[in-house]
Amino acid sequence: MAQAVGKKTQESFFTGTFSSFSVNDIAKAKEFYGKKLGVDVSDSEQGGLEFTFPNSGSVFVYPKDDHKAATFTVLNFIVDDIDKAVDDLTGRGITFESYGGEMKTDEKGIMRGKKNNHGPNIAWFKDPAGNFLSVIED
C-alpha cells in the first residue's frame, strides 16, 4: 500500500535547522552583510559569522581558503515590496544581475514572475565572495 505524500513516518529527533555557506574573506563578509545589508551579524566561536533574522532561523558563514562561489542562490531575503528593496539596495551600492530568456529581468534587475505566472518576483545579486543572494517578494 502506498503512503500519502508528505506523511511523517518516523518520529523526528531534529531539534532545529540552520543554513551555512562559505566565503573567502570573513572581514569583507562581516562588512558587507552587517553594514551594507543591515543584517544582524555576530562572530561565532568557530571563527565564522552568524546571521540572525527576526521570525526566522540563523545562517552560519565560514571562511574557506579554497572557496568557490556558489552557482546557485545561497540566501534569499524576503521583502514586502521588491521595488522598494531593490531601489534601497541599489542606493547602497548593490549591483543586481541581469538575465534574458526564461528568467528575463527588467531594467532594475527584477524578474517579474508574478506578472507572468512564472514564480515570485525576485532579484539576484552577489556578495563579495561571489555567492548568489536574492531579494524575493513575499
Residue 11 counted as domain residue: no
Residue numbers of the domain that contains 118: 73-138
Residue 82 counted as domain residue: yes
Same domain, 57 and 114: no
Q: Where are the alpha helices (DSSP H) in 18-92?
A: 26-30, 82-91
How many domains, the chain?
2
Residue 68 in grid coordinates: 568557490
Task: Choose the final residue of a domain: 63, 82, 98.
Answer: 63
| Rounded CA Rg of the chain | 17
Distance CA 112, CA 1 (A): 43
Q: What's the pTM value of the predicted model, to 2 decimals? A: 0.87
Distance CA 85, CA 137 (A): 9
Tens of pLDDT, residue by residue, the chain (138 residues): 344 566 667 788 888 888 999 999 999 999 999 999 999 999 999 999 999 988 888 999 999 999 999 999 999 999 999 999 999 999 999 999 999 998 999 999 999 999 878 899 999 999 999 999 999 998
Residue 123 counted as domain residue: yes
